[in-house]
Amino acid sequence: MRFGIAGCGGRMGKMLAEAVEKAGYEIAGGTERAGSDLIGKPFGTGKVFGDPRDLFAVADAVLDFTAPEASVENARAAAETGKVLVVGTTGLSDGQKDELKKSAQKAKIVFAPNMSVGVTLLTALVERAASVLDPTYDAEIVEMHHRNKVDAPSGTALALGEAAAKGRGVALSDKAVYGRHGKTGVRPAGDIGFAVLRGGDVVGDHTVVFAGDGERIELTHKASSRAVFANGAVRAAVWAAEQPDGLYGMRDVLGL
């Protein structure tokens, strides 16, 4: 497979390139935003493009950990060329997610807020735990990331919340509590709370707590390197290449 790296000049772009090379695949080129000094310079066996369509023309699969608007544009380019796109971008709106779904009618797209194999397993475990533990077990999701992360709660935390809600057969939008301040009163049974921490260079810590009377279950994942996200993205692209067009998640990739 020939891989393309969206946002190849960024920190995550470089990590993705390292993962592709480590896995023994070819880097056919990359993209950067308009006006970047990197456009036109060599990258892998190709170069850096300003237009994502030029990258999809030379790559079999593109890895994208950029920004919501760019990911939507990359999805459209994937649909035009029928290529594989793996999106690890967070902070997409519901409308932007719908755009990915629309593009996936003519492309193989894997979208997940966290490409880590460990986090994917954690999500499955949370759904299972929530299905077994009744709402008297209070569900709280605690996440911490580096000081430069711009969205909150993290996409992974929201995915864990969705998993807990699905396990309980409810909609997260009806049960989510994203912050508490002042005199909040007694905690309603069935709520799914979120707590967000930001600081330092933390790659990503997530803990889901089910707190009952007399006992507490905590499910935790801690990432110490972004390499886990990059490695998962490469695995997802290789898997997607053998699938029919459609929108997939990492649980599909792992068969969970």
User: Rounded to an integer, what distance in angstroms lies between the CA atom of residue 97 and that of residue 100?
Assistant: 5
In angstroms, the CA 242 to CA 102 distance is 20
Q: Which domain holds residue 162?
A: 117-223
What are 115-158's pLDDT values in tens digits? 999 999 999 999 999 999 999 999 999 999 999 998 999 989 99
Residues 48, 121: one domain? no
Structure confidence by residue, pLDDT tens digits, 176-233: 999 999 999 999 999 999 999 999 999 999 999 999 999 999 999 999 998 999 999 9
Do 187 and 246 belong to one domain? Answer: no
Whether residue 46 sits in one domain with residue 60: yes
* Angle of CA points 153, 73, 88, to nearest 5°: 35
- The reply to whether 154 and 218 lie within a common domain is yes
CATH number, domain with residue 168: 3.30.360.10
Residues 70 and 6 in one domain: yes
Give the CATH number for residue 6.
3.40.50.720
- Does the pLDDT value for residue 238 go beyond 90? yes
Q: Positive or negative, the Cα torsion across 204, 113, 78, 73? A: negative
Positions marked catalytic: 145, 149
Same domain? For 181 and 128 the reply is yes
Percent of the chain with pLDDT over 70: 100
Amino acid identity of 32? E
Domain count of the fold of the chain: 2
pLDDT range class, residue 237, cuts 50, 70, 90 = very high
Q: Write down the pTM of the prediction.
A: 0.82
Residue written as token pair 């053998």:
242
Radius of gyration of the chain (CA): 19
Q: Are residues 94 and 165 in the same domain?
A: no
Instruction: Give yes or no for residue 170 having a pLDDT over 90.
Output: yes
- Ramachandran category for residue 214: left, alpha or beta (phi over 0 → left; psi -120 to 50 → alpha): left
Give me the sheet containing 192-198, strands edge to edge.
Answer: 176-177, 192-198, 138-145, 204-212, 215-223
Q: Answer yes or no: do 11 and 56 share one domain.
A: yes
Same domain? 43 vs 72: yes
Say yes or no: 104 and 134 in one domain.
Answer: no
Q: Is residue 106 domain-shared with residue 158, that is, in the same domain?
A: no
Q: Summarize pLDDT for 69-117 with one digit per residue, the tens.
A: 999 999 999 999 999 999 999 889 999 999 999 999 999 999 998 899 9
What tokens does 32 get?
């950067």
> What mean pLDDT is predicted for residues 21-34?
97
Instruction: Kindly state whether residues 6 and 106 are assigned to the same domain.
Output: yes
pLDDT of residue 87: 98
User: Which pLDDT score is estimated for 140?
Assistant: 98
Asked whether the CA dihedral 231, 237, 242, 247 is positive or negative, the reply is positive
Query: Residue 256's pLDDT is what?
Result: 87
